[in-house]
Amino acid sequence: MGEKTTLGYTIAILKVEETPTSIMIYTKDNEPKSKRAEEKEVFYYPYTIVKVNSKKEIIIQ
């Protein structure tokens, strides 16, 4: 999602599919319900970890 200046951003995994040649990961970026004032010089980097045991190409959409 990149750099954010307020808390509350999340990344949701909608589904993971395996095709004959790749692993498809479908995601959705969620913004906070209410945005507070930006904090100066404080940055947040929202992330989600997905463990995939495969040597196939991984495609994130």
**DSSP category for residue 17:** E
What is the pLDDT at residue 37?
66
Which residue ranges of the chain lie beneath pLDDT 70? 35-39
2 contact partners, CB below 8 Å, separation of at least 6: 45
What is the pLDDT at residue 55?
93
pTM: 0.73
What is the pLDDT at residue 41?
79
Q: How far apart are CA 16 and CA 50, in angstroms?
A: 10
User: How many CB atoms are located within 10 Å of the residue 11 CB?
Assistant: 15
